[in-house]
Amino acid sequence: MASAPSKLYADDVSLLVVLLDTNPFFWSTSSLPFSKFLSHVLAFLNSILVLNQLNEVVVIGTGYASCKYLYNSSSYSNHGLEDGRMPALCTRLLKNLEEFVIGDEQSIKEDPRGGTMSSLLSGSLSMALCHIQKVFRSGSLHPQPRILCLQGSPDGPEQYVAIMNAIFSAQRSMVPIDSCYIGSHNSAFLQQASYITGGVYLKPQQMDGLFQYLSTVFATDLHSRTFLQLPKSVGVDFRASCFCHKKTIDMGYVCSVCLSIFCKHHKKCSTCGSVFGETPVELDSVSKQKRKTPE
């Protein structure tokens, strides 16, 4: 297991990787317009960069059909205000964002398909983790990385395995995944991601005050978090989605060979090809047998 390298950087310097949900299907139905959401987020990102001059911000766009790096504060030398007008962050980010959203919509038109409304969270999470590994490799002096998911679209069950893999990798390298979910229902994926990696999951009640939620909960560095009363989890949805219909279930059957989950009894495992003979058993028969033996 690869452990995170020792962190010798000042503990209040952060690298914030923001995963921005740009899914047009969600934003066309959302009560909060995308432009308003963006103005909250831009103000928040600027405040992160102002909090400490060594802080770094990376923004990755999570679209419906693609993901892309939109902004990296360390790759441009930040001059702050240009001619007293918009800061560099806004212009660069907005320009890349616009290109990205147009390209994303293009690919939707090429391949129109109803049904799924989810965005590609697994892709942007994987990209964020690769970027963070690069920061770890850069030497013993590096900012403390964390990931913030600004997500609104519902979960895509077909991404379950990929997202779980990313979560465990983040847990191994001790990178917390924070999530701010602005959709209507809670996101089980993000709840699990934040719970397993020790991040904060928040579902803001009032969208008008999004900036306040962001700046009070997600702006502080990891060290200072220990002194804060951050929102506690209101329960985590640990239900699994079955492999056969991608339904979320709370009780089901598990293949003893490969641990695939099914919502009803099958004759053959679709993942590993094992043929199940008998009626399903419950695992507790083991312990019943065990109890009979004298100890």
Partner 1 sequence: MNNGENMRLNGEADEEDDDDDANGGLAAWERTYADDRSWEALQEDESGLLRPIDNKAIYHAQYRRRLRSLSSLATTARIQKGLIRYLYIIIDFSRAATEMDFRPSRMAVVAKHVEAFVREFFDQNPLSQIGLVTMKDGVAHWLTDLGGSPESHVKALMGKLECSGDASLQNGLELVHGYLNQIPSYGHREVLILYSALNSCDPGDIMETVQKCKTSKIRCSVIGLTAEIFICRHLCQETGGSYSVALDESHFKELLLEHAPPPPAIADSAMPNLIKMGFPQRAAESSIAICSCHKEAKVGGGYTCPRCKARVCELPTECRICGLTLISSPHLARSYHHLFPIIPFDEVTDKVLHDPRHQTPKVCFGCQESLMNPGNSPGIRVSCPKCKQHFCLDCDIYIHESLHNCPGCESFRRPKLATYDE
Q: How far is the CB of 109 from partner 1 (least distance, A)?
A: 13
The correct pick among 123, 154, 176, 199 for binding partner 1 (CB under 8 A) is 123
Residue number with CB closer to partner 1 (98 or 158)? 158
The correct pick among 39, 46, 52, 133 for binding partner 1 (CB under 8 A) is 133
Residue number with CB closer to partner 1 (39 or 271)? 271
Using CB under 8 A, which of the segments 12-20, 32-40, 162-170, 212-220 binds partner 1? Answer: 162-170
φ and ψ at residue 190, rounded to 5 degrees: -70, -35
State which of positions 16-75 bind partner 1 (CB under 8 A): 64-69, 72
Our finding on whether 225 is near partner 1 (CB under 8 A) is no
The correct pick among 129, 150, 177, 182 for binding partner 1 (CB under 8 A) is 129
State which of positions 231-290 bind partner 1 (CB under 8 A): 232-241, 243, 249-262, 265-266, 269-278, 280-287, 289-290
- Within 10 angstroms of residue 67's Cβ, the number of other Cβ atoms is 23
Buried b (16+ CB within 10 A) or exposed e, 192-207: bbbbbbbbbbbbbeee
Spatial separation of the C-alpha atoms in residues 278 and 267, rounded to whole Å: 9
The β-bridge relationship of strands 240-241 and 201-202 is unpaired
Token pair listed for 137: 């490799």
Label residue 186 exposed, middle or buried (CB < 10 Å: 0-12, 13-18, 19+): middle
Our finding on whether 228 is near partner 1 (CB under 8 A) is no
The correct pick among 26, 44, 160, 213 for binding partner 1 (CB under 8 A) is 160
- Within 10 angstroms of residue 61's Cβ, the number of other Cβ atoms is 28
Residue 175, CA distances (Å) to 121, 133, 281, 295 in order: 16, 10, 39, 44
Query: Total number of residues binding partner 1 (CB under 8 A)?
Result: 90
Q: Print the binding letters for residues 81-120 with partner 1: x by CB under 8 A, - otherwise.
A: --------------------------x---x---xx---x
